[in-house]
Structure 1
Amino acid sequence: MRISRKLVGVGVLALMTGCSTLSSLNPFSSKPKGNQPAPLVDLKGSMAVRTAWKLDVGKSQNYLMAPAVADNTVIAAGGNQIVRAEAASGRQLWRIKTDADLTAGVGTDGNVIVVGAAKGRLLAYDMDGKQIWKAQLSSEILSAPAIGEGVVVARSIDNRIVGFDAKTGEKKWTVQRTSPPLTLRLAPGMIVHDKDVIIAQPGGKLLSLLLATGAPRWELEVGVAKGATELERVTDIGGAPVIIDGDVCAVTYQGRVGCFDLSNGSARWTRDISSEVGVAADQRFIFVPDDKGSMFAYQRDSGTSAWKNDKLAYRRLSTPVSYGRAVAVGDYQGYVHFLSREDGAFLARAATDGSAIVAPPLVVGSNLIFQTQNGTVTAIAVE
């Protein structure tokens, strides 16, 4: 789940701020610098796709704002707005303005909607858009909050994880984890499963905590740091982990992609790759784009390579999504590319608003939901 490939670290931030490398690693620039993105070729599409509806929610700026789904509705946020709309038609149900610019979201369990706001504020609303509580975290919030078992889990950029009562906002527990000296400015994702929350961590780790108490169940390394310098050893997890059939799967920058036993964290398989965005999974495959724009598919049970498509090189691909016979992925110009899940061949392409897609997409019924950095939420119907 890429916010920016800016590097942050205690004691080195001032030094790195002046480094010319950082400007070339900004996914929100109008055009990538360095390696030029692959041009798009004309397609004779074998899959029919169309735009079902669009909705404007406000620009995300340099933050990752991802929509969420609840009760056949889509909840999206951007700028200082939160919008709820019918998933099938895009008809707006309500729109509210917050008292601060938003930095993370959306998290919901169908009862509560939670977003992160400027200066580490956590804002909670009911499903009608009425604010019910707010809380203060120790630093900036970049990761969308997760909700389960009546607990809201929020993570701040200093890697402090806090559990709040979903109804009252009362703090229930706090877990502090150390971070490596140098990390990417990412939004490591969280996912609730039964009574646990699985949290992506800097340094390539996954952490499983009990929702009720914050007690750790297991911790594992997805990526293993390598290299002589701190820059070479950056191996943060990109995006949110994915859970499927007793496995949890994730990928790291300068590290590995792998699937692990959800009950104890033991490795099923791992493969070397570098990615700043999350994986997609279905019954047969794990899909992941690398940081050079190639899309890879691995057999989910063994990790054996199934196929590779390198025709979207340096187009800064988003977290993909598997749907039917296709896997869909967005790029820095707001295009959504549909590839065959069986062999990676191009099936179709759809345009949004011309700005980058960095948020992970949603599947809602027969629609795929993508949100751009300029704040357009687009539902694409696959026919």
Structure 2
Amino acid sequence: MNFKPNSRVAQVVPRLCAIIFVASLAGCSTVSGWFGSKKIEPKPLAPNVVVLGVRQAWTAKIPSVGFSLTPAVQGDTLTLASDDGTVTALDGRTGRELWRASAGAPLSAGVGTDGTLTTVVSRNNEIVAFAQGRQSWRAKLSAEAFTAPLVAGGRVFVLAADRSVSAYDGQSGRKLWTQQRPGGEPLVLRHSGVLLAMGNTLVVGLSGRLSGLDPDNGSLRWEAPVAAPRGTNDVERLVDLVGRVSRLDGVICTRAFQAAVGCVDATRGQTLWSRPASGYTGVDGDDMRIFGTESNGVVNAWRRRDGERAWSVDRLQYRHLSAPLVLGRSVVFGDADGLVHFLSREDGAPLNRLTTDGSAITTAPVEVGGSLVLVTKNGGVFGFVPD
């Protein structure tokens, strides 16, 4: 869903381990917080029993990919960002490379695209925009950004680590407006957050709230809490919302870091439910359930209508699972060993397990051009197709 163009303008978490990186609002410098230093070995995996047939259809290779570099899907095109600033567009049906470009600097946030304009954010705090693989413009940000820009309605929207939201003209890169959330929280999560279009509203995760903004000027239309800060220190009080989210019929379901999973009616700006949950990766869902993991790798399904627990399985504990993808009859996760796990949406039973290149799955699985695509830390891109 895209915004209508404004007539007034021209057309945290390396290897998902126990270390969580956060950025200080005072200049957005980074610090590390430990959530337990003892490494717990995962349970041995049971032999793989193939219930759901899946075959590897294609592979591609790009430079190494970090955990905050979210890929983008537009039609049959998959666009990927690499740590070193390389941006690559692939045909999701075949893995064929469509174009490759460089942002000229390492990247801190992944890809936002509308199919015409493609954007990333560099560690030099710059938005870099490409049109069909050629650099179009660059714009300086006032702070770091770890969330992929949103390209919609002829504009580029950016959520920065100082909790500011800005809009830029898609053709020229000229800044159109900036809205700054009032201060209070000294830390933010160095992790991809929530930034999306819902009808003609810009929906943004700001601290533990979903906020609906007017895309023309950034003014606040509504705000709905998912989690409230708690704990005795700044790290424990982090409740930033993390991507990915589940969207269905105007309802957005999301996760607040180490605090809660909840659903918000974005047409009215009303919280429908919120349930305690201790995970740090995003969620996905279908019309019946929302799926996600706890920080220890327990996989949960919550009923979409009221947030009550539908099922829970612990066989993948301590495998540092990615955010899930709902695909057909399964929910799919990648792990820190490059394995791909297919679980039943109905009860969490195992359906299949696949291998990639042995390095960690760094981004949530995506579906593009009929392929299930997994991206690894070593830059392996793997396209699988159910039989």
Question: Quick check: TM above 0.5?
Answer: yes
1:198 and 1:241 in contact (8 A); partners too: no
CA contact (8 A) 2:161 2:188 kept: no
Q: Does the C-alpha gap of structure 1 residues 37 and 45 become closer, same or farther in structure 2, counting only changes over 3 Å?
A: same
Distance change in 2, residues 1:71/1:226 (3 Å):
closer
What SS does the aligned partner of 2:323 have? coil
Give per-residue Cα distances to partners, 1:306-330, cap 9 Å, x unaligned.
1111111111111101011100011
Match of 2:43 in 1: 38
Corresponding residue pairs, total: 370
The corresponding residue for 1:103 is 108
Distance 1:155 1:112 in 2: 18
**What's the CA shift string for 1:76-123, capped at 9, x where partnerless?**
120221111211001112212231112211100112100111210100
Quick one: which amino acid aligns to residue 146 of structure 2? L
CA distance in 1, matches of 2:27, 2:100: 41
Identify the match of residue 86 of structure 1 among 73, 79, 91.
Answer: 91
CA contact (8 A) 1:54 1:379 kept: yes
In structure 1, the partner of 2:164 is 160
CA RMSD of aligned residues (A): 2.2
Q: Does 1:197 align with 2:212?
A: no
Superposition map of 1:278-297 within 5 A: 278-297=282-301
Aligned partners of 1:23, 1:118: CA distance in 2, in Å? 28
Matches of 1:300 and 1:359 in 2, distance apart?
Answer: 24
The match for 2:20 is 5
Q: Equivalents in 2 of 1:367, 1:287: separation in Å?
A: 21
* 8 Å Cα contact 1:49-1:382 kept in structure 2: yes
Structure 2 letter corresponding to 1:331: D
Question: TM-score, structure 1 length as denominator?
Answer: 0.90
Secondary structure at 2:222's aligned position in 1? strand
> In structure 2, do the counterparts of structure 1 residues 107 and 299 end up closer, same or farther at CA, with 3 Å as the change threshold?
same
AA matched with 2:166: V
CA distance in 2, matches of 1:14, 1:83: 29
Q: What is the CA–CA distance in structure 2 between the aligned matches of 1:183 and 1:157, rounded to whole Å?
A: 6
Corresponding residue number in structure 2 for 1:242: 246
Separation in 2 of the partners of 1:305 and 1:196? 31
Q: Distance in 1 between matches of 2:324 and 2:221?
A: 29
Q: Secondary structure at the match of 2:300?
A: strand
The equivalent of 2:9 in structure 1 is none
Quick check: 1:280–1:321 contact (8 Å CA) kept in 2?
Answer: yes
Please, which runs of 5 or more residues in structure 2 have no aligned partner? 1-11
Q: Hey, what's the Cα distance between the residues in 1 that align with 2:25 and 2:242?
A: 20
- 1:76 is matched with 80
TM norm structure 2: 0.89
For residues 130-279 of structure 1, the aligned pairs below 5 Å read 130-177=134-181, 178=183, 180-202=185-207, 204-279=208-283
Partner of 2:124: helix, strand, or coil?
Answer: helix
